[in-house]
Structure 1
Amino acid sequence: MTGTTVAQALVTSLRDMGVRHVFGVPSGGWVDYMEALRTTDGIDFVLTSHEGGASFMADVCGRLTGVPGVCFGTFGPGATNLSTGVGGALLDRSPMIALTDEMPEALRSRTVQMGIDHQALFRPITKWTTRLEADSLGETLAEAAGIAVSGRPGSVHIGLPVGLSAAPAGNGTAGPVAATAPAPADASAIAALTTAFAAARKPILAVGLGAAHARVGDKVAALAERFGLPVVLTPMAKGLIAEDHPSYAGVLFHALSDLVGRTHAEADLVVAIGYDPVEFNFEGWMRDGLAVASIDVEPVDIDTAKHPVAADVVGDIGASLDALLALDAAPKDWDMAAVAARTAELFARLSPDSNRFGPCAALDVLRDVLPADGIMTCDVGAHTHLIGQKWPTPATGTQIMSNGWSSMGFGLPAAIAAKLCRPDTSVCTVVGDGGFLMTVGELATAVREKLPIVILVFTDNDLALIRIKQEKKDNPIYGTPVRAEGTIGGPSLFGVPVVTVADPDALRAALVDAFAADGPVIVEALLDSREYDGLVLHKDKP
């Protein structure tokens, strides 16, 4: 691209990678990039209310498209605001390129207003951080994108020195993003896996986020069916196997996890498929002495003093599963009828309490109204633990949460990004009234972008998870009421209409109308948070 500026070359490269939106709050140093975004077809700048919201949106774009989501923040506070979602993309395994202003070289060692070391800031919360130079722009962007999408996906950071944007760009640009395919696992590791599996009487499949990235849901189901095995999931692997599949045995870590524990306590081997301990450490749920055979793109991370590693199979997950599927062996010794009975009990106990309007009833109504292919994002809080266990998820990517990072405030920006990426799909978010307050300003973004999304706010004036923990210690309730009483306030917020409901029938009617609207709508459900008390924060080990 001889004759073009750095700003033009960077924006064109991002567009050619497949990036369609860049999220952020502009700075003076970003003006040339803004003009390049304005004049380049196929890519747009989305002004957000806060850089944290921008980085959450970039995270979700990366998840849904497989192309790194892109966000921007300026010096100092812009970068630190952005860092919340950048860390989220690292630990929630979402491909992202985070861009920030940086001081020109002559000022990097000086005391300057808003000046901090952005390379030092982003190093521990990204897979890679670097600084852009005009003569290596294409190489840098291509390397950044490749790192972001390969292995366990995550965030990378590129600093943009102020003054560089108008400089002539070198000849190189970046094109479509391609992940580095994992190599086949070592033959000796595969042999150890098949030997351990063949010897086990009651192996259980523990399936994580890496399996969703590898798109091996069909192979997981085939393996479970072939050998009569139960399957447990981590929360962010929801949708990999259907809740009504005979082998489905529940989600680890979330509501009523003690019931899920009755199944995995019987296992004599855990076959971990794409299991990422960033969601839940093995030791948090596996009984002491239980062995693991791990199939992943990274070596297993486990306390080997407590859990023998029967096999550590690092490489292409699908090919490794093929080795198990090729075994000529009889079904295992599981009583799958008993597993199914426990799963049925699990869902029965997650049925709504008829004596109160609580979160279980609200989720059931939403699931009935939201189309099967619709996308539901959620925030972090007690409701997340219910969603993780209760919400029927027909496919990966139709329920979007933050668990590896677990930042409150995620749900609303996530829904905005999901609608931008899937404009023809129904999108909603479920947020508690506490998390809603953290990024409520992004309602202005939804209005500006004319996005028909539904924001279901669970109003109980209670940070329920912390309140429950206080009460378990016999401590008084302190610092957890969101407000003394009342609602989020007013008939509209930031131009978004608010409909307040207090029973399931009113909720259903409000949601039907909200999904038919041509812009964002808030449906506020006034709920009794005491329903959470008997369902969440159970012990994972029997």
Structure 2
Amino acid sequence: MKSTNVARNVVAALRDMGVRHVFGVPSGGWVDYMEAIRTTDGIDFVLTSHEGGAGFMADVCGRLTGVPGVCFGTFGPGATNLATGVGGATLDRSPMIALTDEMPAALRGRTVQMGIDHQALFAPLTKATMRIEAESAVDTLAEAARIALSGRPGAVHVGLPQGMSAVAVDEVRIAPPAADPAPAPDAAAVEALIAAFVAAEKPVLAIGLGAVHAGVQDRVVALAERFGLPVLLTPMAKGMVAETHPNYAGVLFHALSDLVGQTHAEADLVVAVGYDPIEFNYEGWMRDGLALASLDVAPADIDRDVHPVVADVVGAIAPVLDVLLALPATVKGWDLAALAARKAEIFARLAGREGAFAPRAALDVLRDILPADGIMTCDVGAHTHLIGQHWRTPAPGTQIMTNGWSAMGFGLPAAIAAKLCRPDTSVCCVLGDGGFLMTAGELATAVREKLAMVIVIFTDNDLALIRIKQEKKSNPIYGTPVRAEGTIGGPSLFGVPVTVARDPAEFRAALEAGFAANGPVIVEALLDSREYDNLVLRKDKP
């Protein structure tokens, strides 16, 4: 066998898994790994401005490629910075391998500069945490990838003990990792599902992120059409059913959710397909006493004293949907004309209006210009709730948000990763000015990587979601203005040109120029945040 060292084995293993980018901020202990990346074809190191941004980028690479995204942070503050993005991958269900420096065995437990227990730090933020040994490093990475991909995907932490990278070892290669197959569902549970579904007069489909991972979009649409069922989506399942489809009933939890609630309030059974309550607990929207039938890779997480669980089918989702599709076609008791009228009211209220330039009009213009196969990422804030309901999403993965973790600062790193993974696709992000400030330094990453992408900043100088909650409690506005007035800065930031738009026409012209540019461009829309007040944070239960 050929002789090599640990660093080259680790990097070759990542490359052979399908990893194309490793994101992070290097350390002294990472130098050998950096050299291995430099000299290994098919994999690159992407220097980020902050380890948190590196974690978000790895998260989105995992989502878009199906291969674990990889990020790195050094001891102590490097690892704690990285932890924000790592937790995001776990709760947004993205496969990730998070690498960190670790103290060598002789120094673990000693008082050492920057020394904390990384295994303990990452344990609650990941599906598993482990560290390599020189001779078995590739086996450890293979196991990390398997865990990250299996079941509900998530992050796995792997520690790299300092001083081990240059140790001479035999060269070991790795096969591309595969997730553990979902188990076959229990036959009795499937029979219970069939009985409940057949007996229900008005079942409603609730589609979650697990259905996206299972790739059952066509089956979901066919089931809705065969039995005349309304389809509810969670925000991260956007694109599973087109907004123009007659059975589409809206997105849970986001803008105008009270109107969406008028549909599910009529249901006598919720058939949840890949529904992950990390986005929105069942109890937050299901009326008390409403029954649940769940199909997912994990058992239903619901208060069973309030909601009877008539079927809990755990395992592979697709074959169970095939069983339902094989049932005799019987149109259920839904009034699809009434559903269409509710949906029309939702979209009419979400359409841009004349008057002050505001978020709805800005999103309408952006949707007109971004190609149907383009990718829009967004940050966290009031605009997220509007995007969740309003943004037309033609396919899963064309709108990317964080809803399980919901970390401000996600949107810009997410767009950078999307452009790196899909270089020939138009990519933009929509950020509030508050969230933008959290990861503004990643503009330097976009410039360094020469990424042609458009960064849309909704500047309203307001943390609108918190301000609205303050006003609902009749509290004074305090601590939520981002600045007194004005824009985010000058004509360029970190070498990225900034165009300010004060009305839809200026915004459209700036976007058209931005998407034609050969590098990153900021389009700052000066908007009135008061438009959010009557759209978001509505009651989910009628």
**TM-score range normalised by the length of the shorter chain:** over 0.9
Map of 2:507 onto structure 1: 507
In the alignment, structure 1 residue 128 sits paired with structure 2 residue 138: no
Q: What does residue 160 of structure 1 align with?
A: 160
Distance 1:474 1:309 in 2: 39
Question: Could you say what secondary structure the match of 1:272 adopts?
Answer: strand
Maintained 8 Å contact 1:3/1:168: yes
1:143, 1:281 → 2: CA distance?
A: 31
Q: C-alpha displacement at 1:173, in angstroms?
A: 3.3
1:215 has 2:215 as partner: yes
The reply on whether 1:268 has 2:268 as its aligned counterpart is yes
- Displacement of 1:391 in angstroms is 0.2
CA deviations over 1:99-122 (Å, ceiling 9, x no partner): 000000000010000000000000
Measured in 2, the distance between the counterparts of 1:128 and 1:512 equals 45
The aligned counterpart of 1:468 is: 468
How large is the RMSD of aligned CA atoms in angstroms?
0.7
- What is the Cα deviation at residue 136 of structure 1? 1.1
Does the CA-based 8 Å contact 1:53-1:439 persist in structure 2? yes
Secondary structure at the aligned position of 2:4 is classed as coil
Aligned partners of 1:332, 1:172: CA distance in 2, in Å?
58
The corresponding residue for 1:203 is 203
Question: Partner of 2:424 in structure 1?
Answer: 424
Aligned residue number for residue 279 of structure 2: 279
Q: Which piece of structure 1 moves more, 390-399 or 346-355?
A: 346-355
Correspondence for 2:441:
441
Matches of residues 278-357 of structure 1 in structure 2 within 5 Å? 278-357=278-357
C-alpha displacement of 1:134: 1.1
Q: Secondary structure of the equivalent of 2:178?
A: coil
Question: Who is 1:361 aligned against?
Answer: 361
Deviations 1:284-321 (A, max 9, x none): 00000000000000000000010000000001100011
- The separation in 1 between residues aligned to 2:46 and 2:366, in whole angstroms, is 29
Paired letter, 1:259:
L
Residue number in structure 1 paired with 2:80: 80
Give TM-score scaled by structure 1 length: 0.99
Residue of structure 2 equivalent to 1:535: 535
Separation of aligned partners in 1, 2:346 and 2:310: 31
Q: Show the counterpart of 1:37.
A: 37
Please name the residue that 2:415 is paired with. Answer: 415
Match of 2:525 in 1: 525
1:37 corresponds to which letter in structure 2?
I
Q: Could you say which residue in structure 2 is the equivalent of 1:479?
A: 479
Q: Separation in 2 of the partners of 1:437 and 1:98?
A: 25
Check conservation: 1:366, 1:511, Cα contact below 8 A. Answer: yes
Cα displacement (A) at 1:413: 0.2
Give the counterpart letter for 1:154 in structure 2: G
Distance (Å, rounded) in 1 between the aligned partners of 2:329 and 2:379: 44
Separation (CA, whole Å) in 1 of partners of 2:170 and 2:207: 45
* Structure 1 residues 267-288: Cα deviation after superposition (integer angstroms, max 9, x where no partner): 0000000000000000000000
Q: CA–CA distance in 2 between the matches of 1:161 and 1:175?
A: 24
Give the secondary-structure state (helix, strand or coil) at the position aligned to 2:457: strand
Count the aligned residue pairs: 542
Does structure 1 conserve the Cα–Cα contact (< 8 Å) formed by 2:429 and 2:454? yes
The Cα offsets for residues 182-227 of structure 1, whole Å up to 9 and x where unpaired, read as 1220110100000000000000000000000001010000000000
Superposition deviation, residue 352 in structure 1 = 1.4
Q: Which amino acid in the other structure matches residue 347 of structure 1? A: F
- How far apart are 1:329 and its partner, in Å? 4.4
State how far apart, in whole Å, the 2-side matches of 1:221 and 1:343 are. Answer: 17
- Which residue of structure 2 lines up, in the alignment, with residue 494 of structure 1? 494
SS at match of 1:4: strand
Secondary structure in 1 aligned to 2:229?
coil
Deviations 1:55-88 (A, max 9, x none): 0000000000000000000000000000000000
Amino acid of the structure 2 residue aligned with 1:99 = L
Distance in 2, matches of 1:139 and 1:34, equals 21
Q: Distance in 2 between matches of 1:201 and 1:155?
A: 41
CA contact (8 A) 1:288 1:307 kept: yes
**Contact persistence 1:353–1:531 (CA under 8 A):** no
Unaligned runs of 5+ in 1: none
Matches of 2:448 and 2:252, distance apart in 1: 39
Given the two structures, how large is their TM-score scaled by the length of structure 2?
A: 0.99
Report sequence identity in percent: 77
The one-letter code of the counterpart of 2:409 is: G
Q: What amino acid sits opposite 1:16 in the alignment?
A: D
Q: Which residue identity does 1:374 align to in structure 2?
A: G
Contact conserved, 2:226 with 2:329, CA < 8 A, in 1?
Answer: no
Q: Matched residue of 1:292: which SS?
A: strand
Cα shift at 1:154: 0.3
CA distance in 2, matches of 1:295, 1:531: 38
Query: 1:399-414 alignment to 2 at 5 Å?
Result: 399-414=399-414
**Which consecutive residues of structure 2, in runs of 5 or more, have no partner in the other structure?**
none
In 2, are the aligned partners of 1:8 and 1:33 still within 8 Å (CA)? yes
1:389-416 Cα shifts (integer Å, max 9, x gaps): 0000000000000000000000000000
Tell me whether 131-140 or 19-28 shows the greater mean CA deviation.
131-140
Equivalent position SS for 1:98: strand
CA deviation string 1:165-189 (max 9, x = no partner): 0012355432212111212201101
**Residues 1:170 and 1:129: Cα distance change in structure 2 (over 3 Å):** farther
1:328 Cα shift?
A: 1.6
Q: CA deviation at 1:137?
A: 1.4
Matched, 1:97 2:97: yes
Asked if the contact 2:249–2:339 (Cα under 8 Å) also holds between the matched residues in 1, the reply is: yes
Aligned ranges 1:367-406 → 2 under 5 Å: 367-406=367-406
CA distance in 1, matches of 2:186, 2:329: 22
CA distance in 1, matches of 2:310, 2:401: 32
Q: Distance in 2 between matches of 1:302 and 1:170?
A: 50
* Paired residue type of 1:74: T
Residue identity opposite 2:310 in structure 1: A
Q: How far 1:355 moved relative to its partner?
A: 2.0
The superposition leaves residues 242-264 of structure 1 with CA deviations (integer Å, 9 ceiling, x where unpaired) of: 00001000000000000000000
Equivalents in 1 of 2:314, 2:172: separation in Å? Answer: 34
